[in-house]
Amino acid sequence: MADKKTINSSKVLKIGIIIYAAVFIIGILFTLFAGLKLDINFSGGTRITYSYTGKVEEKDFKKVAKSVIKKDFTVGSSTSLAGDVKTLTVNLAGRNTLDTKTQESLTTKLEEKFTKNNIELYDSNSVSPTVAGTFFIKSLVAVILTAIFVIIYVGIRFRKIGGVSAAVTALCALVLDLFVSFFVCVIFRLQIDSNYMAVVLTILGYSLNDTIVVYDRVRENKKLFPQLDLSENMNVSISGIIKRNIVTTVTTVSAVATIILVSELFGLTSLRTFAIPMAFGLVSGCFTSLFVAGPLWVIWQNRKNKKA
Amino acid sequence: MKSKRTGKPVFFVVFILILALTYCAFFGFENYYGDTRKVIIKGANDIRWGIDISGGVEAVFSPDKSGVDITSDDMDAAKTIIETRLVNNNITDYEVYTDNNTHQIIVRFPWAAGESDFDAQSAVQELGETALLTFCRNEDQNDVILKGSEDIKNAQAGPDENGNFVVYLNFTDAGTSKFAAATAQLVGQKISIWMDNQEISAPTVNQAITNGSAYINGMANADEAKSLADKINAGSLPFALTVDDSKLQIISPSLGSDALDVMLIAGAIAFGIVCILMIVLYRLHGVIATIALLGQLAGTIACISGFFPNLSSFTLTIPGIAGIILSIGVGVDCNVIAAERIRDEFRKGKTIDGAIDSGFKNSLSAIIDGNVTIVIVSLVLMGAFGTPDSPIAKLFSPLMSLFGSSITGSIYSFGYTLLIGVIFNLIMGVLASKYMLKSISQLKFLRKPAFYGGKKNG
């Protein structure tokens, strides 16, 4: 038997419920009142490109544009292949399209502010949002398919401890983690771009892996200590692997934190949308796989046994 | 306890092999003949980075207006074909926008590795080719027998019996009967094969061909044959596209101009921190884990840079890097699980050999289950977001065809790096670290439980 103090996982679950309820309420409130920031890749939108000569700081350009547009937008810069045309592009996502009047006044204002730079309207496009629709459907399908395959695999591998219940509770933990990463994006006002999809998938991998380690230990302890009841077994198992979970999570989160830190030091802010939701999702994954999936599985199994 | 000893030299052999792989994967192997650099083994410098990291090219395609009305369906079809061509070239990072009002297709894709000699114009031209394959009577381009887009089921590149590179074609049922009729009629005459307005081959018909297959010869090399086969499989564009050269642009990296350097520094520091944590926590096992992780990383990089001749190079983007981070995390985890298990065994009072043996044995099922789950995730992603003719997509095609194909290179590249990383984790983290630890524990001066996380006085 473990020589350490055993953890009472259902007690921790109760604390967890309070924390997650708070995160959900804050997250939903932010989503409702502050809204999402979607990238143009996802939502379609407008792209207006200006050519210029000399040197225009992206920051100054953005400031001027902001005074006219008054909506969320991003600015990108580029140079033509021959190197003779330099451009700055304003991207507006989704329904934030600009009417011609605003476009005209933006052009006038920019010409006024950067008189020396010969600013001219180069190109203006509206980007089809149909792409975004199929992308989301496809992503959803991929996530559902993955879930089905994982349920089948976990169900077979862990059939001795009620495979389907193990798989479904693992998915519950996962869904919580994904919501946490989503709310982090909303609360920190981070744009949902294609990086976010990578974050979702990474969290999916970590969270499932964490939960599988829990069930693996439960399966083993069931063989070793058949006298333990389910919740005792779960508590012993969790106590046995909590250190592994913490070490793995601390190691990974410190790696991700290093990436955030170094890139912020060098002024590379665009990695935020990638690293911040990832870090929170990983911490959540460490917690939920131990204290959500585990105790839920115990409750499920106990119900089933009572009925039987 | 059966104790199959692992010999002492095993550690050094594995260690040197991993170091060699790491060196080659990062620095490659190149020769200079005068000023020309000839790459023998591709290193990390030969990785094609995504637009987000190192910038790229933006091209605006517009249809030749001479033709018919262009519907938004046509635009979507053209977009899908351009995407397929990009992914077939392992350019998994791109943005393709369609503007249905002005009938323009905007394509952004990253610079090739070692961007200096990159010819944007020709790359862009290749993307915009209609790729309409036609078989014509004699050498008259207007006398069409059959069209590639309608009558060809698939194409495949390969050597013929003489070792020349050819593209094999399989016709559809309708195509088979058309081709049989035409060849029966044209014995002794020529059939010409055209790609757009260029004649690529004009063989003489010897006899009627009724088996529904044909091949195109005259390919210069394997690459040309593969690229033609890919183009035929990707389908032809519903209309000709022209590139507006005045709008061809260099785009700055969306992450900022020095993103690549910063990320490399950040990655190196993060990897260092992970290794230090492992060594502080698990001492000798931590050192072994560090070597295994290095091997895993090197293996993954090698598969991305095109180090292995049969795996062509791959575009590395932020999602791709996320895949590597996840697989390294899984690698760390696998070593942590094993190291914790070995400690548990020491607590039970086992000897060094016994603890290491049963520690690895007990940890195996958790590691395998975790890794297999992640392999499933990566395979589904590659199947769902890759090109429809990839082997994995074919595996899932009964399921995937329900939802229509949509190619998303960035997600595909996440699945790819993740899969490669996990495979190398199974080789390095599971096999190599086990043999290294077992072997090194045979060295006399290291036979103290404290080195393995056991009690100091143990």
Contact: A213, B325; criterion CB under 8 Å: no
Check residues B315 and B309 and name the one with the higher pLDDT. Answer: B315
For residue B283, the domain's CATH number is: 1.20.1640.10
Q: Work out the mean pLDDT of chain A and round it to a whole number.
A: 81
Partner A contacted by B77 (CB < 8 A): no
Asked if pLDDT for residue B201 goes beyond 80, the answer is no
Residue B458 has pLDDT above 70, yes or no: no
pLDDT over 90 at B174, yes or no? no
Taking CA–CA distances from A58, the nearest residue in chain B reads B256
Determine the average pLDDT of the residues in B379-396: 69
Q: Do B254 and A76 touch (CB under 8 A)?
A: yes
pLDDT (0 to 100) of residue A176: 93
> How wide is the angle at C-alpha B163 spanned by C-alphas B160 and B165, nearest 5°?
65
Asked if A205 lies within 8 A of B377 by C-beta distance, the reply is yes
Is A141 in Cβ contact with B336 (below 8 Å)? no
CB atoms B265 and A125 under 8 Å: no
Chain B, window 283-342: residues with a beta carbon less than 8 angstroms from a chain A beta carbon: 318-319, 322-323, 325-326, 328-330, 332-333, 336-337, 340
- Asked whether the predicted pLDDT for residue B247 surpasses 70, the reply is no
Residue-averaged pLDDT of chain B: 77
Percent of chain B with pLDDT over 70: 75
pLDDT band for A93, please (50, 70, 90 cuts).
low
Residues in B closer than 8 angstroms to A78, CB to CB, are 58, 249-252
Which of A127-136, B78-87, B343-352, B391-400 bottoms out in mean pLDDT, i.e. has the lowest?
Answer: A127-136
B280-316 burial, b if ≥16 CB within 10 A, otherwise e?
Answer: ebbbbbbbbbbbbbbbbbbbbbbbbbbbeeeeebbbb
Residue A157 in contact with residue A166, Cβ under 8 Å?
no
Nearest chain B residue (CA) to A133:
B406
* C-alpha–C-alpha distance, residues B206 and B186, integer Å: 9
Domain boundary among B232, B251, B270: B251
Residue A291 — very low, low, confident or very high, per pLDDT cuts 50/70/90? very high
Higher pLDDT, B250 or B59: B59
Question: Measured between CB atoms, does B132 come within 8 Å of chain A?
Answer: no
- Is the domain of B58 the same as that of B157? yes
Q: What is the dihedral of CA B365, B369, B375, B376, to 10 degrees?
A: 150
Pairs of CB atoms within 8 A across A/B: 226
Work out the minimum CA distance from A263 to partner chain B, whole angstroms. Answer: 6
pLDDT above 90: residue B115: no
B105 and B149 fall within a common domain: yes
- CB < 8 Å to B101, chain A: 126
Domain assignment present for residue B42? The answer is no
Residues of B in contact with A243 (CB under 8 A): 340
| pLDDT for the residue B310 | 60
Whether the predicted pLDDT of B112 surpasses 50: yes
Instruction: Nearest chain B residue to A141 by CA: give it.
Output: B403
Structure tokens at A51: 């050519």
Single out the residue in B198, B225, B251 at which a domain terminates: B251
CB contact under 8 A, A256 and B380: no
Of the candidates B100, B250, B319, which has its C-beta nearest A79's C-beta?
Answer: B250
Say yes or no: B95 and B139 in one domain: yes
Residue B423 confidence (pLDDT) above 90: yes
Residues B202 and B153 in one domain: yes
Cβ–Cβ below 8 Å for B403 and A138: yes
Q: What is the pLDDT of residue A183?
A: 93
Q: Is the pLDDT of residue A238 over 90?
A: yes
Residue B39 placed within a domain: no
Q: How far is B285 from chain A (nearest CA, A)?
A: 14
Which residues 6+ apart lie within 8 Å of A154 measured at CB?
A163, A166, A167, A170, A212, A215, B369, B373
Q: Are B305 and B175 members of one domain?
A: no
Q: What single-letter DSSP state applies at residue B108?
A: E
In this prediction, residue A1 carries a pLDDT of: 43
Q: Are residues B18 and B91 in the same domain?
A: no
Rounded to an integer, what distance in angstroms lies between the CA atom of residue A299 and that of residue A295?
A: 6
Lowest mean pLDDT among A188-192, B233-237, B389-393: B389-393
pLDDT band at B60 (very low <50, low <70, confident <90, very high): confident
Nearest to A270 among B254, B325, B330 (CB): B254
In a domain, B225, yes or no: yes
| pLDDT band (50, 70, 90) for residue B457 | very low
Instruction: Please state which of the ranges A40-54, A155-169, B182-196 shows the lowest mean pLDDT.
Output: A40-54
- Tell me the C-alpha to C-alpha distance, in Å, between residue B15 and each of A211, B20, B23, B203, B436: 32, 9, 12, 56, 8
Domain count for chain B, please give it. 2
Place of tokens 């992780």: B293
Same domain for B269 and B417: yes
CB-CB neighbors (< 8 A) of A195 in chain B: 318-319, 322
Residue A268: pLDDT over 70 = no
DSSP string of A59-117, one letter each residue? HHHHHHHHHHH-S--EEEEEEETTS--EEEEEEEETT-PPPHHHHHHHHHHHHHHTGGG
Q: What pLDDT band is residue B393 in, cutting at 50, 70 and 90?
A: low
What's the pLDDT score for residue A128?
55
What is the CA angle A256-B428-B17, rounded to 5? 115
Interface contact A209-B330, CB threshold 8 A:
yes
B397 to chain A, any CB pair closer than 8 A? The answer is no
Lowest mean pLDDT among A169-173, B125-129, B184-188: B125-129
Show residues of chain A in contact with B377, CB under 8 Å. 146, 150, 201, 204-205, 208
- CA B411 to chain centroid, in Å, comes to 12
Cα of B191 to nearest chain A Cα, Å: 41
Q: Specify the CATH number for the domain of residue B166.
A: 3.30.1360.200
**Amino acid letter at B354?**
G
Smallest CA-to-CA distance from A19 within A299, A270, A215, A280 is with A280
What is the rounded average pLDDT of the residues A176-185?
91
All residues of chain A having their beta carbon less than 8 Å from the beta carbon of residue B108 are none
Structure tokens at A147: 């879930």
| Mean pLDDT for the stretch of residues B30-44 | 61
Q: Is B389 on the interface with A (CB under 8 A)?
A: no
- Tell whether B3 is covered by a domain: no
What residue in A sits closest to B103 (Cα-Cα)?
Answer: A125
Q: How many CB atoms sit inside 10 A of residue B256's CB?
A: 19
> Does residue B458 lie within any of the structural domains?
no
pLDDT at B445 over 90: no
Q: Which residues of A touch B248 (CB under 8 A)?
A: 80-81
Taking the CA of residue A259 and the nearest CA in chain B, the distance in Å comes to 5
User: Is residue B40 situated within a structural domain?
Assistant: no
Report which of residues A4 and A98 the model is more confident about: A98
Say whether residue B124 is in contact with chain A using an 8 A CB cutoff. Answer: no
B386 near A CB under 8 A: no
pLDDT of residue B132: 75
Kindly list the residues from chain A whose CB atom is less than 8 angstroms away from the CB atom of residue B270: 254-256, 258-259
> Per the domain annotation, does B43 fall within a domain?
no
Does the pLDDT value for residue B406 go beyond 80? no
A128, A130, A159, A200: which to substitute to probe chain B, counting the most B Cβ within 10 Å?
A128
Same domain, B340 and B363: yes
Q: Which amino acid is at B405?
A: S
Say if residue B244 is in the same domain as residue B338.
no
pLDDT tens digits, one per residue of A107-116 = 888 888 887 7
Same domain, B390 and B326: yes
Of A197, A209, A248, the CB nearest to B373: A209
pLDDT digit string, tens, across residues B270-302: 899 999 999 998 889 999 999 999 999 999 988
> What pLDDT band is residue A88 in, cutting at 50, 70 and 90?
confident
Tell me which of B221, B251, B281 is where a domain ends.
B251
State the residue range of the domain holding B18: 9-32+257-452
Q: Is the pLDDT of residue A228 over 50?
A: yes
pLDDT in tens, B131-162: 777 888 877 777 778 777 678 877 888 888 87
Is the predicted pLDDT of residue B452 greater than 50, yes or no? yes
Query: What domains, with CATH codes, occur in chain A?
Result: 9-38+131-307 (1.20.1640.10), 45-127 (3.30.70.380)
- Is the residue at B290 inside a domain? yes
pLDDT given for residue A292 in this prediction = 92
Quick check: A153 and B372 CB within 8 A?
Answer: yes
Of B258, B259, B319, the CB nearest to A194: B319
Residues B192 and B261 in one domain: no
pLDDT at A2 over 50: no
User: pLDDT tens digits for A126-166?
Assistant: 665 555 556 666 677 777 777 788 888 888 888 888 888 89
- Flag if A199 and B322 touch (Cβ within 8 Å): yes
What does pTM read for this prediction? 0.73
Do residue B26 and residue B69 come from a single domain? no
* B264 at interface of A, judged by CB pairs closer than 8 A: no
Supply the pLDDT for residue B290.
94
Mean pLDDT of B323-329: 85
Which residues of chain A lie closer than 8 angstroms to B258, CB-CB?
266, 268
